[in-house]
Amino acid sequence: MIEIRNYIRGEWISIRHGREIEVRNPADQDELVGKGYLASAREAESVVAAASEALPAWSRMPAPKRGEIVERAADLLRAEQDDVARLLTREEGKTVAEAKGEIYRAYNVLNYTAGQARRLSGITIPSELPKNFAYTMRQPLGVVSLITPWNFPICIPAWKIAPALVAGNTVVFKPSSTTPLTAAKLVEIFERAGLPPGVLNLLVAGSGDVGDILTHDPRVRGVSFTGSTENGTRIYSSCAARGVKAQCEMGGKNPVIVLEDSSTIPGSSIVLNLHTAVCGAVPS
């Protein structure tokens, strides 16, 4: 059995108070995969403080050097994909083949994003004033809260964490409490890749217990959320009121239209996904 722990300031922290949680294999409820306690507001304050303290040094590190750490994490994830896939399957319920597919996608995200560390360029702008040089440059937002769901427990965190790190932000990562073990494995990989303490922090907690801190704290300058419409709308409103960046992926299923002629070709059907149609890529 694996102990559910938090990762704060480069240390794995065991909690002995609060609400106890268990992770059981969805295919075999008799198998107890993990056990621990949900973090409280006290731990949430600690992770925000840790990320804030680590921000100055991390943001000053040259972007290509930050990218090298993310690239090492990608290589470690790919090398250990079999072990990670088995853990993901035992915790979340995907087949091993599906878990490997998700992990390979996460690897691609990390690998691609690492390369973007050399492309964080600005632009030069002709000035209307003489002897003036106008230009733009990219700067990190600061501390960002990343809140992810259970259904893609390694890929969604990867595509939130990697860009945030490459851009020079420090991270408070709150995964779903349904899949904390896969999240911890990803954080452990970043740790072994050489990420400095406090740059990436893991908080296993209930949204109701820590959500306000992760979205309202003045040190948090950006939030990326994937989850329910109800929670996402609340987060977006909170961030808008403070004037900070918010990225919310919300909602349930994409609606579909089954066309009248779908049965005219034996053994086939034509389904148009409205999300795809809105994006302008309608399948032929």
pLDDT digits (tens, 9 = 90+) for 26-84: 999 999 999 999 999 999 999 999 999 999 999 999 999 999 999 999 999 999 999 99
The letter for the amino acid at 122 is G
Burial label, 156 (beta-carbon count in 10 A; 0-12, 13-18, 19+):
buried
Q: Which of 19, 75, 37 is nearest to 190 (CA)?
A: 75
- Tell me which amino acid residue 278 is: V
**Domain spans of the chain, in order of start:** 2-252, 256-284
Give the model's pLDDT for residue 284: 33
Query: What is the 8-class DSSP label of residue 4?
Result: E
pLDDT the model gives residue 97: 96
Q: How confident is residue 4, by pLDDT bands cut at 50, 70 and 90?
A: very high
Report the relative pairing of strands 220-226 and 143-147 from DSSP bridges.
parallel
pTM: 0.86
pLDDT at 177: 95
CA distance 262 to 268: 7
Count of helices and strands (H, E) across the chain: 9, 14
CA dihedral defined by 265, 266, 270, 271, rounded to 10 degrees? 160
The answer to whether residue 250 scores a pLDDT higher than 60 is: yes
What's the pLDDT tens digit per position in 124-165?
A: 999 999 999 999 999 999 999 999 999 999 999 999 999 999
Quickly list H helices, the chain. Answer: 41-60, 63-79, 81-92, 96-115, 155-166, 180-192, 207-216, 229-242, 274-278
Percentage of residues of the chain with pLDDT beyond 70 = 91
> What sign for the dihedral angle of Cα 34, 36, 41, 43?
negative
- The correct answer on CATH 3.40.50.1000 for the domain covering 2-252 is no
In the three-class reduction of DSSP (H, G, I as helix; E, B as strand; rest coil), residue 77 is classed as helix
Amino acid at residue number 11 = E
Whether 2 and 34 have beta carbons less than 8 Å apart is answered as yes
